[in-house]
Amino acid sequence: MHLKKLILANFKNYTHAELDFSEKMNCFAGNNGSGKTNLLDAIYYLSFTKSYFNLVDQQNIKLGEDFFRIEGHFSLDSEHIDLLECVQEKGHRKILKLNKKEYDRLADHIGLIPLVMISPADSNLVYSGSEDRRKYVDSVISQFDKVYLEDLINYQKILFHRNKLLKQFAESRSFDRAAIEIWDEQLAPLGSRIFQKRQEFIKLFHPVFTKHFKGISGGKEEVGITYESALEHDDFSELLNKSMEHDRFATYTTQGIHKDDFLFHMNQMPLKKFGSQGQQKSFMIAIKLAQFDYTRDIKGFKPLLLLDDVFDKLDDQRVENLLMLVSEDHFGQIFITDTSAARLQHAIEKTHSAYAIFSINSGNTETLTMQ
């Protein structure tokens, strides 16, 4: 699978753009703010029907215009070219069409164009709290596991009702344990299944992640991801029972899979405190490359790989290692942004891959090289 052509109208800072791509590496070079990342975001839209950066669709319409349109021509197999169109008009719902046929539900499209995005925004996984890391893991699993997604949705609904009841008891200065246990009976099996799926995911994901980190860093550091959950030591029903009094006074559910975390460490120390910026970025890239493998194994073909601002914070050796790694046949079509066309070309030429380099300047595009 690869994206042959991208056409934009009134998307972010682009009035019009039309680009034909290489089947392997595609590089967008330009100053900060020129619109390089917006091209990656347009491609992301065609996969996930939303922006990676701004979830308010109408704010992605070019200033002064009434709509945006993103058109992608995809080769999903060796014989057919599929047309994918995403249109957002002010005051109207978003429309997504595949070969001129509109989707009834945008969710039905997710998974058709698998894609992995690596962006500076991923640093939130290191610096933010456990909720962001849980959301990331849950999004990777649920993208291809509808049962897991349904369990997550139902868990959150029941958790909401349980917490609401705890607050009502506090306000009325009363307590009905049996009423809480009605919600516990529904929460426990859902939470137990989610916990088990997360455990299985990390078991598969971890060795692939460490392999990719070693490929980027040259094996200089020892890294790991640890899944931390109270369910490792207690049955969920027992856990809820033990924390009942604590929950009563806290007025919310203090134990459960909604409190789990995924701890990042390097050389057996917390990555957030002891990792350099380059090491942290290498860590996040390795996580996303492991996500690439996970997605490819499920779909049976290679996802698109988007690398935004990939050179920043990495030394020359790590950059070269990364580009050599993603240029292998293991990976498919790749899109990269950087501020220097010369630096991109020098680094890409060492991989001996087919490539195209585009100059981006204030929403205007120019093809510099196509090899």
Identify the residue with better confidence: 347 or 158: 158
Are 154 and 190 a contacting pair, CB within 8 Å? yes
Residue 110 has pLDDT above 90, yes or no: no
Is 43's pLDDT higher than 90? yes
What confidence score (pLDDT) does residue 307 get? 93
pLDDT-above-70 percentage for the chain? 99
d(CA 323, CA 311): 10
Q: What per-residue confidence (pLDDT) applies to 172?
A: 95
Largest CA distance in the chain: 74
| pLDDT over threshold 90, residue 121 | no
Q: Which residue has the higher pLDDT, 317 or 242?
A: 242
Q: How high is the pLDDT of residue 79?
A: 61
The first and second tokens of residue 302, run together, are 């290679």
Other beta carbons within 10 angstroms of residue 5's beta carbon come to 15
Say what the pLDDT of residue 78 is.
59
For 314, phi and psi rounded to 5 degrees?
-105, 140
Q: Collapse the DSSP code of 11 into the 3-class scheme (helix H, G, I; strand E, B; otherwise coil) and give the result.
A: strand
Is residue 206 within 8 A of residue 167, CB to CB? The reply is no
Choice among 165-174, 184-193, 254-263, 309-318 with the minimum mean pLDDT: 309-318
Q: What is the pLDDT of residues 192-203, one digit of tens each?
A: 999 999 999 999
Rounded Cα distance, 259 and 255, in Å: 6
Residue 158 has pLDDT above 80, yes or no: yes
pLDDT reported for residue 320: 81
> Order of strands, edge to edge, in the sheet holding 355-361?
115-118, 304-307, 334-338, 25-29, 355-361, 364-370
**Could you read off the pLDDT of 46-97 as tens digits, one per residue?**
999 999 999 899 999 999 999 999 999 998 765 677 999 999 999 999 999 9
CA distances 233 to 6, 240, 257, Å, are 51, 13, 13
pLDDT top residue among 203 and 351: 203
What mean pLDDT, rounded, does the chain reach?
92
Q: What is the pLDDT of residues 321-344, one digit of tens each?
A: 888 888 888 889 999 999 888 888
pLDDT at 346 over 90: no
Q: Is the pLDDT of residue 349 over 90?
A: no
Quick one: average pLDDT of 180-209? 96
Looking at the predicted structure, is the pLDDT value of residue 313 above 80? no
Query: What's the pLDDT at 370?
Result: 86
Give the per-residue pLDDT at 328. 82
Residue 244 to residue 238: CA distance in whole angstroms: 10
- Strand (E) positions, the chain? 2-11, 14-20, 25-29, 67-75, 81-89, 95-98, 101-102, 115-118, 223-228, 261-266, 269-270, 304-307, 334-338, 355-361, 364-370
Helix or strand run (H / E) with residue 362: none
The pLDDT score that the predictor gives to residue 176 is 94
